[in-house]
Amino acid sequence: MTMRRIVVVGNGIAGLTACDSLRSAGYDGELTVVGAERHHPYSRPALSKALLHSGDGNSDGDGNSNDGLRAHELPEPTHDATVLLGVSAAGLDIEARVVRLDGGGELPYDGLVIASGSRAKRLAPRQGAAGPRRDGSPRELTLRTIEDAIALRQRLADRPSVLVIGGGPLGMEVASGCLEVGCEVTLVSDVRPLSRQLGEHLSGIFTTAAVRHGLRVVGGGKARFIDSDAGGRVALADGTELEADLVVTAIGDEPNVEWLTGSNLLVDGQLRVDSRGRLRSDIVAAGDVAAFPTRRGVERIPLWTSAIDQAKVAAIGLLKGDAAPEFNFQPYFWTEGFGLSLKAVGNTAVVGAPDYCEPGNDPDSLLLCWGNQAGSGTAVAINYRIPIPKLRRLADAGPGALRPAAPLKL
Protein backbone atom coordinates (compact mmCIF):
# COMPACT_ATOMS: atom_id res chain seq x y z
CA MET A 1 0.00 0.00 0.00
CA THR A 2 1.27 3.47 -0.83
CA MET A 3 1.54 5.60 2.26
CA ARG A 4 0.29 9.15 1.96
CA ARG A 5 -0.61 9.84 5.60
CA ILE A 6 1.75 8.90 8.39
CA VAL A 7 1.00 9.72 12.02
CA VAL A 8 3.73 9.72 14.67
CA VAL A 9 2.57 9.51 18.30
CA GLY A 10 5.23 10.94 20.61
CA ASN A 11 7.43 13.96 20.04
CA GLY A 12 10.55 12.82 21.86
CA ILE A 13 13.82 11.83 20.24
CA ALA A 14 12.31 8.62 18.79
CA GLY A 15 9.40 10.53 17.21
CA LEU A 16 11.73 13.23 15.89
CA THR A 17 14.20 10.70 14.46
CA ALA A 18 11.39 8.70 12.84
CA CYS A 19 10.13 11.87 11.10
CA ASP A 20 13.63 12.81 9.91
CA SER A 21 14.28 9.26 8.70
CA LEU A 22 10.98 9.08 6.81
CA ARG A 23 11.84 12.31 5.00
CA SER A 24 15.43 11.22 4.31
CA ALA A 25 14.08 8.02 2.79
CA GLY A 26 12.02 10.09 0.35
CA TYR A 27 8.60 10.04 2.05
CA ASP A 28 6.89 13.25 0.92
CA GLY A 29 3.32 12.60 2.05
CA GLU A 30 1.42 14.03 5.01
CA LEU A 31 3.24 13.72 8.30
CA THR A 32 1.49 14.51 11.58
CA VAL A 33 3.11 14.36 15.01
CA VAL A 34 1.02 14.12 18.17
CA GLY A 35 3.02 15.21 21.23
CA ALA A 36 1.68 15.29 24.78
CA GLU A 37 4.36 17.76 25.89
CA ARG A 38 4.07 21.42 24.99
CA HIS A 39 7.67 21.57 23.76
CA HIS A 40 9.55 20.57 20.69
CA PRO A 41 11.88 17.62 21.34
CA TYR A 42 14.71 18.26 23.77
CA SER A 43 17.55 16.28 25.25
CA ARG A 44 16.32 14.34 28.28
CA PRO A 45 19.84 13.22 29.23
CA ALA A 46 20.80 16.87 29.77
CA LEU A 47 18.12 17.24 32.45
CA SER A 48 20.07 15.27 35.03
CA LYS A 49 23.47 16.61 34.02
CA ALA A 50 24.43 20.20 33.18
CA LEU A 51 20.89 21.52 33.43
CA LEU A 52 20.47 20.40 37.02
CA HIS A 53 23.37 22.19 38.56
CA SER A 54 24.63 24.91 36.19
CA GLY A 55 23.57 28.53 36.21
CA ASP A 56 21.20 30.20 38.64
CA GLY A 57 18.10 28.15 37.87
CA ASN A 58 15.93 31.06 36.73
CA SER A 59 13.32 30.22 34.18
CA ASP A 60 10.02 31.54 32.94
CA GLY A 61 8.26 28.48 34.39
CA ASP A 62 7.29 27.39 30.92
CA GLY A 63 10.22 25.16 30.20
CA ASN A 64 12.28 27.97 28.71
CA SER A 65 15.33 28.65 30.81
CA ASN A 66 16.28 32.30 30.62
CA ASP A 67 19.67 32.06 32.30
CA GLY A 68 21.59 31.16 29.17
CA LEU A 69 21.43 27.48 29.96
CA ARG A 70 20.68 25.65 26.78
CA ALA A 71 22.10 22.20 27.43
CA HIS A 72 18.80 20.45 26.74
CA GLU A 73 17.99 22.20 23.48
CA LEU A 74 18.01 20.38 20.15
CA PRO A 75 18.08 22.00 16.71
CA GLU A 76 14.70 23.08 15.32
CA PRO A 77 12.96 20.19 13.54
CA THR A 78 13.22 20.34 9.74
CA HIS A 79 10.89 17.46 8.87
CA ASP A 80 8.03 19.77 7.91
CA ALA A 81 5.40 17.78 9.78
CA THR A 82 2.20 19.15 11.25
CA VAL A 83 3.04 19.05 14.94
CA LEU A 84 0.24 18.99 17.51
CA LEU A 85 1.90 20.07 20.75
CA GLY A 86 0.18 19.45 24.08
CA VAL A 87 -2.12 16.88 22.47
CA SER A 88 -2.26 13.22 23.52
CA ALA A 89 -3.34 10.15 21.62
CA ALA A 90 -6.09 8.59 23.73
CA GLY A 91 -6.92 5.49 21.70
CA LEU A 92 -6.20 3.51 18.57
CA ASP A 93 -8.43 1.55 16.19
CA ILE A 94 -6.11 -0.60 14.07
CA GLU A 95 -8.89 -1.84 11.76
CA ALA A 96 -10.30 1.62 10.97
CA ARG A 97 -6.72 3.01 11.03
CA VAL A 98 -7.45 5.99 13.24
CA VAL A 99 -5.74 7.50 16.24
CA ARG A 100 -8.22 9.05 18.69
CA LEU A 101 -7.09 12.28 20.35
CA ASP A 102 -7.74 13.31 23.94
CA GLY A 103 -9.62 16.41 22.78
CA GLY A 104 -12.10 14.24 20.89
CA GLY A 105 -10.70 14.47 17.34
CA GLU A 106 -9.43 11.63 15.19
CA LEU A 107 -6.42 11.24 12.91
CA PRO A 108 -6.70 8.72 10.09
CA TYR A 109 -3.45 7.15 8.91
CA ASP A 110 -1.95 4.80 6.33
CA GLY A 111 1.12 4.29 8.52
CA LEU A 112 1.60 4.79 12.25
CA VAL A 113 4.77 5.26 14.32
CA ILE A 114 4.30 4.67 18.05
CA ALA A 115 6.95 6.61 19.96
CA SER A 116 5.15 7.51 23.18
CA GLY A 117 8.17 6.78 25.36
CA SER A 118 7.98 6.12 29.07
CA ARG A 119 7.47 7.94 32.36
CA ALA A 120 9.13 7.79 35.75
CA LYS A 121 8.04 5.05 38.10
CA ARG A 122 6.99 6.30 41.50
CA LEU A 123 7.15 4.91 45.00
CA ALA A 124 3.94 6.56 46.18
CA PRO A 125 0.87 4.54 45.16
CA ARG A 126 -1.14 5.51 42.11
CA GLN A 127 -4.32 7.49 42.58
CA GLY A 128 -6.21 6.73 39.40
CA ALA A 129 -6.16 4.28 36.57
CA ALA A 130 -5.88 5.84 33.16
CA GLY A 131 -3.64 8.01 31.05
CA PRO A 132 -0.05 9.19 31.29
CA ARG A 133 -0.59 9.95 34.98
CA ARG A 134 0.53 12.75 37.25
CA ASP A 135 -0.25 10.60 40.22
CA GLY A 136 1.44 9.65 43.44
CA SER A 137 2.38 12.23 46.05
CA PRO A 138 3.36 15.80 45.15
CA ARG A 139 6.05 15.46 47.82
CA GLU A 140 7.79 12.75 45.79
CA LEU A 141 9.82 14.37 43.01
CA THR A 142 10.88 12.50 39.88
CA LEU A 143 12.90 13.65 36.89
CA ARG A 144 11.57 12.93 33.42
CA THR A 145 10.47 16.20 31.83
CA ILE A 146 11.82 19.71 31.50
CA GLU A 147 9.15 20.84 33.99
CA ASP A 148 10.43 18.23 36.49
CA ALA A 149 13.99 19.52 36.00
CA ILE A 150 12.99 23.14 36.51
CA ALA A 151 10.95 22.26 39.62
CA LEU A 152 13.90 20.35 41.06
CA ARG A 153 16.38 23.15 40.28
CA GLN A 154 14.11 25.63 41.98
CA ARG A 155 13.80 23.44 45.07
CA LEU A 156 17.58 23.01 45.19
CA ALA A 157 18.09 26.76 45.39
CA ASP A 158 17.36 26.60 49.16
CA ARG A 159 20.02 23.89 49.61
CA PRO A 160 17.59 21.35 51.15
CA SER A 161 18.68 17.99 52.50
CA VAL A 162 17.91 15.45 49.78
CA LEU A 163 17.05 11.77 49.84
CA VAL A 164 17.59 10.12 46.46
CA ILE A 165 15.94 6.73 46.07
CA GLY A 166 17.58 4.50 43.46
CA GLY A 167 21.22 3.75 42.72
CA GLY A 168 21.00 3.55 38.93
CA PRO A 169 22.53 6.13 36.56
CA LEU A 170 19.69 8.61 37.03
CA GLY A 171 19.77 8.41 40.83
CA MET A 172 23.53 8.83 40.84
CA GLU A 173 23.41 11.79 38.45
CA VAL A 174 20.72 13.50 40.52
CA ALA A 175 22.73 12.86 43.71
CA SER A 176 25.84 14.29 42.09
CA GLY A 177 23.98 17.40 40.89
CA CYS A 178 22.46 17.97 44.34
CA LEU A 179 25.86 17.66 46.01
CA GLU A 180 27.34 20.04 43.49
CA VAL A 181 24.93 22.81 44.47
CA GLY A 182 25.75 22.28 48.15
CA CYS A 183 23.00 19.98 49.45
CA GLU A 184 23.46 17.22 51.97
CA VAL A 185 22.56 14.08 50.04
CA THR A 186 21.71 10.50 51.05
CA LEU A 187 21.26 7.91 48.34
CA VAL A 188 19.25 4.77 49.06
CA SER A 189 20.13 1.75 46.97
CA ASP A 190 19.42 -1.91 47.65
CA VAL A 191 22.64 -2.91 45.84
CA ARG A 192 25.91 -1.06 45.34
CA PRO A 193 25.11 1.97 43.13
CA LEU A 194 25.40 1.31 39.39
CA SER A 195 26.34 -2.34 39.90
CA ARG A 196 23.30 -3.62 37.95
CA GLN A 197 24.08 -1.38 34.98
CA LEU A 198 27.90 -1.35 35.05
CA GLY A 199 29.02 -4.39 37.05
CA GLU A 200 30.88 -4.37 40.35
CA HIS A 201 34.19 -3.03 39.05
CA LEU A 202 32.88 0.20 37.53
CA SER A 203 30.35 0.53 40.33
CA GLY A 204 33.29 0.51 42.73
CA ILE A 205 35.03 3.33 40.87
CA PHE A 206 31.89 5.50 40.84
CA THR A 207 30.85 4.73 44.41
CA THR A 208 34.33 5.57 45.71
CA ALA A 209 34.25 8.90 43.87
CA ALA A 210 30.71 9.58 45.13
CA VAL A 211 31.62 8.97 48.76
CA ARG A 212 34.72 11.13 48.30
CA HIS A 213 32.42 13.92 47.10
CA GLY A 214 30.31 13.62 50.26
CA LEU A 215 27.51 11.23 49.26
CA ARG A 216 26.05 9.09 52.02
CA VAL A 217 25.00 5.70 50.61
CA VAL A 218 22.42 3.65 52.53
CA GLY A 219 21.24 0.06 51.88
CA GLY A 220 18.37 -1.38 53.90
CA GLY A 221 16.27 -2.98 51.17
CA LYS A 222 13.22 -1.87 49.25
CA ALA A 223 12.04 1.63 50.09
CA ARG A 224 8.45 2.69 50.85
CA PHE A 225 7.36 6.31 50.61
CA ILE A 226 5.57 7.69 53.67
CA ASP A 227 3.37 10.56 52.63
CA SER A 228 3.18 13.19 55.34
CA ASP A 229 2.71 16.93 55.35
CA ALA A 230 5.87 17.23 57.43
CA GLY A 231 8.19 16.48 54.47
CA GLY A 232 9.75 13.51 52.76
CA ARG A 233 10.01 10.25 54.64
CA VAL A 234 10.95 6.81 53.48
CA ALA A 235 10.81 3.46 55.28
CA LEU A 236 13.24 0.75 54.27
CA ALA A 237 12.57 -3.00 54.38
CA ASP A 238 14.96 -3.43 57.34
CA GLY A 239 12.87 -1.00 59.42
CA THR A 240 15.08 2.08 58.99
CA GLU A 241 13.21 5.35 58.48
CA LEU A 242 14.87 8.23 56.68
CA GLU A 243 13.75 11.82 56.46
CA ALA A 244 14.85 14.79 54.35
CA ASP A 245 13.53 18.12 53.07
CA LEU A 246 13.23 16.61 49.60
CA VAL A 247 12.75 13.07 48.29
CA VAL A 248 13.69 12.39 44.67
CA THR A 249 12.97 8.92 43.35
CA ALA A 250 14.82 7.42 40.42
CA ILE A 251 13.57 3.85 40.43
CA GLY A 252 13.14 3.21 36.73
CA ASP A 253 10.58 3.95 34.05
CA GLU A 254 7.38 2.43 32.69
CA PRO A 255 6.21 2.61 29.08
CA ASN A 256 3.36 4.90 28.04
CA VAL A 257 1.07 2.22 26.60
CA GLU A 258 -2.25 2.95 28.32
CA TRP A 259 -3.60 4.69 25.23
CA LEU A 260 -3.15 1.38 23.37
CA THR A 261 -5.42 -0.59 25.71
CA GLY A 262 -7.96 -2.45 23.59
CA SER A 263 -5.92 -2.04 20.39
CA ASN A 264 -4.77 -5.69 20.38
CA LEU A 265 -1.16 -4.55 20.02
CA LEU A 266 -0.05 -5.25 23.59
CA VAL A 267 1.30 -8.63 24.65
CA ASP A 268 1.46 -8.95 28.44
CA GLY A 269 1.37 -5.16 28.57
CA GLN A 270 4.37 -4.85 26.24
CA LEU A 271 4.70 -3.48 22.75
CA ARG A 272 6.92 -6.14 21.16
CA VAL A 273 8.26 -5.20 17.76
CA ASP A 274 10.08 -7.40 15.27
CA SER A 275 13.66 -6.84 14.09
CA ARG A 276 12.44 -4.06 11.76
CA GLY A 277 10.47 -2.25 14.44
CA ARG A 278 7.11 -3.54 13.16
CA LEU A 279 3.97 -4.55 15.03
CA ARG A 280 2.04 -4.93 11.76
CA SER A 281 2.88 -3.90 8.22
CA ASP A 282 1.28 -0.47 8.84
CA ILE A 283 2.38 0.10 12.47
CA VAL A 284 5.88 0.41 13.89
CA ALA A 285 7.13 1.38 17.34
CA ALA A 286 10.44 2.75 18.58
CA GLY A 287 12.18 4.16 21.62
CA ASP A 288 11.49 3.67 25.31
CA VAL A 289 7.95 2.42 24.63
CA ALA A 290 9.07 -0.57 22.56
CA ALA A 291 10.54 -3.96 23.43
CA PHE A 292 12.71 -5.34 20.65
CA PRO A 293 14.64 -8.56 19.96
CA THR A 294 18.17 -8.56 21.41
CA ARG A 295 20.67 -11.34 22.07
CA ARG A 296 19.16 -11.65 25.55
CA GLY A 297 15.56 -11.89 24.31
CA VAL A 298 12.89 -9.26 23.70
CA GLU A 299 13.47 -6.30 25.99
CA ARG A 300 13.10 -2.56 26.37
CA ILE A 301 16.40 -0.69 26.43
CA PRO A 302 15.39 2.82 27.49
CA LEU A 303 18.47 4.71 26.36
CA TRP A 304 18.98 7.71 24.10
CA THR A 305 20.98 6.12 21.26
CA SER A 306 18.80 3.01 21.43
CA ALA A 307 15.75 5.25 20.80
CA ILE A 308 17.49 6.96 17.87
CA ASP A 309 18.69 3.74 16.25
CA GLN A 310 15.34 1.99 16.73
CA ALA A 311 13.49 4.94 15.18
CA LYS A 312 15.72 4.93 12.08
CA VAL A 313 15.06 1.22 11.56
CA ALA A 314 11.33 1.50 12.28
CA ALA A 315 10.83 4.36 9.81
CA ILE A 316 12.38 2.35 6.99
CA GLY A 317 10.54 -0.76 8.19
CA LEU A 318 7.27 1.14 7.77
CA LEU A 319 8.11 2.29 4.25
CA LYS A 320 9.88 -0.78 2.89
CA GLY A 321 8.62 -3.75 4.89
CA ASP A 322 10.75 -6.90 4.53
CA ALA A 323 13.16 -5.06 2.22
CA ALA A 324 14.23 -2.83 5.14
CA PRO A 325 17.42 -3.65 7.04
CA GLU A 326 17.07 -5.38 10.40
CA PHE A 327 18.01 -3.69 13.65
CA ASN A 328 21.57 -4.42 14.71
CA PHE A 329 21.66 -3.03 18.24
CA GLN A 330 25.02 -1.47 19.16
CA PRO A 331 24.91 -0.62 22.86
CA TYR A 332 26.27 2.81 23.76
CA PHE A 333 25.92 4.40 27.16
CA TRP A 334 27.24 7.41 28.99
CA THR A 335 26.88 8.91 32.42
CA GLU A 336 28.44 11.71 34.43
CA GLY A 337 28.84 12.49 38.08
CA PHE A 338 31.19 13.06 41.01
CA GLY A 339 33.90 14.39 38.70
CA LEU A 340 33.73 11.35 36.41
CA SER A 341 32.48 11.12 32.86
CA LEU A 342 32.01 7.61 31.51
CA LYS A 343 31.43 6.48 27.93
CA ALA A 344 30.87 2.81 27.19
CA VAL A 345 30.44 0.74 24.05
CA GLY A 346 29.21 -2.85 24.33
CA ASN A 347 27.36 -4.61 27.11
CA THR A 348 28.01 -2.48 30.18
CA ALA A 349 27.08 -4.99 32.89
CA VAL A 350 30.66 -6.23 32.82
CA VAL A 351 31.78 -9.11 35.02
CA GLY A 352 35.01 -9.08 37.01
CA ALA A 353 38.07 -6.88 36.60
CA PRO A 354 38.96 -5.48 33.17
CA ASP A 355 41.22 -7.43 30.82
CA TYR A 356 42.97 -4.22 29.90
CA CYS A 357 43.38 -0.95 31.76
CA GLU A 358 45.34 2.07 30.62
CA PRO A 359 45.63 5.28 32.65
CA GLY A 360 45.21 8.58 30.83
CA ASN A 361 46.83 11.92 31.53
CA ASP A 362 44.56 12.93 34.43
CA PRO A 363 44.53 11.10 37.76
CA ASP A 364 40.98 9.74 37.31
CA SER A 365 41.33 8.99 33.63
CA LEU A 366 41.14 5.36 32.47
CA LEU A 367 40.58 3.32 29.35
CA LEU A 368 39.22 -0.13 30.21
CA CYS A 369 38.36 -3.18 28.12
CA TRP A 370 36.59 -6.41 28.83
CA GLY A 371 36.27 -9.41 26.55
CA ASN A 372 33.06 -11.40 26.54
CA GLN A 373 32.06 -14.86 25.49
CA ALA A 374 30.22 -13.74 22.36
CA GLY A 375 33.49 -12.50 20.82
CA SER A 376 33.28 -8.72 20.87
CA GLY A 377 34.02 -6.85 24.07
CA THR A 378 33.17 -3.78 26.08
CA ALA A 379 35.29 -0.63 25.93
CA VAL A 380 34.91 2.03 28.61
CA ALA A 381 36.50 5.46 28.81
CA ILE A 382 36.42 7.32 32.12
CA ASN A 383 37.62 10.93 31.83
CA TYR A 384 39.67 9.60 28.92
CA ARG A 385 39.68 11.48 25.65
CA ILE A 386 38.84 9.08 22.84
CA PRO A 387 36.50 9.47 19.87
CA ILE A 388 33.41 7.21 20.07
CA PRO A 389 34.15 5.43 16.76
CA LYS A 390 37.56 4.45 18.14
CA LEU A 391 35.96 3.23 21.37
CA ARG A 392 33.56 1.20 19.23
CA ARG A 393 36.44 -0.32 17.25
CA LEU A 394 38.12 -1.32 20.52
CA ALA A 395 34.93 -2.95 21.77
CA ASP A 396 34.48 -4.81 18.48
CA ALA A 397 38.06 -6.04 18.46
CA GLY A 398 38.06 -6.95 22.17
CA PRO A 399 40.88 -6.34 24.64
CA GLY A 400 43.33 -8.36 22.54
CA ALA A 401 43.54 -5.36 20.18
CA LEU A 402 45.32 -3.39 22.90
CA ARG A 403 47.95 -5.91 23.81
CA PRO A 404 50.93 -6.20 24.19
CA ALA A 405 50.45 -3.29 26.64
CA ALA A 406 50.61 -4.87 30.07
CA PRO A 407 47.30 -5.04 31.95
CA LEU A 408 47.38 -2.95 35.10
CA LYS A 409 45.99 -4.00 38.42
CA LEU A 410 43.60 -1.39 39.77
Ligand X SMILES: Cc1cc2nc3c(=O)[nH]c(=O)nc-3n(C[C@H](O)[C@H](O)[C@H](O)COP(=O)(O)OP(=O)(O)OC[C@H]3O[C@@H](n4cnc5c(N)ncnc54)[C@H](O)[C@@H]3O)c2cc1C
Q: Which of 7, 8, 9, 391 binds ligand X (CB under 6 A)?
A: 9
Judged by CB under 6 A, does residue 32 bind ligand X?
no
Q: Which of 35, 166, 398, 399 binds ligand X (CB under 6 A)?
A: 35
Judged by CB under 6 A, does residue 20 bind ligand X?
no
Point out which span in 8-16, 181-189, 198-206, 320-328 binds ligand X (CB under 6 A). Answer: 8-16
Judged by CB under 6 A, does residue 188 bind ligand X?
no
CB of 387 to ligand X, least distance (A): 18
Judged by CB under 6 A, does residue 21 bind ligand X?
no
Residue 313 · residue 321 · CB < 8 Å: no
Q: Which of 333, 338, 370, 384 binds ligand X (CB under 6 A)?
A: 333
Residue 395 · residue 374 · CB < 8 Å: no
Judged by CB under 6 A, does residue 37 bind ligand X?
yes
Question: Which residue in 98, 93, 101 sits closest to 109, CA to CA?
Answer: 98
* Count of residues near ligand X by CB under 6 A: 37
Greatest C-alpha distance within the chain: 66
Q: Name which of 257 and 316 has its Cβ closer to ligand X.
A: 257
Judged by CB under 6 A, does residue 132 bind ligand X?
yes
Q: Name which of 337 and 377 has its Cβ closer to ligand X.
A: 337
The interface mask with ligand X, positions 268-287, x = CB under 6 A, is -------------------x
Phi-psi category of residue 313: left, alpha or beta, with phi > 0 → left and psi -120 to 50 → alpha: alpha
Judged by CB under 6 A, does residue 337 bind ligand X?
no
Judged by CB under 6 A, does residue 314 bind ligand X?
no
Residue ranges of E strands in 319-406 = 332-337, 340-345, 356-359, 366-370, 378-382
Distance CA 208, CA 240 (A): 24
Residues within window 64-123 making contact with ligand X, judged by CB under 6 A = 88-89, 115-118
Judged by CB under 6 A, does residue 187 bind ligand X?
no
Question: Which residue in 201, 130, 248, 168 sits closest to 357, CA to CA?
Answer: 201
| Phi, psi at 75, each rounded to 5° | -60, 150
Question: Which residue in 175, 189, 147, 145 sits closest to 246, CA to CA?
Answer: 175
Residue 355 · residue 370 · CB < 8 Å: yes
Q: Is the peptide bond before 404 cis (omega within 30 degrees of 0)?
A: yes
Where along the sequence are the contacts to ligand X (CB under 6 A)? 9-15, 34-37, 44-45, 47-48, 88-89, 115-118, 132, 143-144, 170, 256, 259, 287-288, 302-305, 307, 333-335
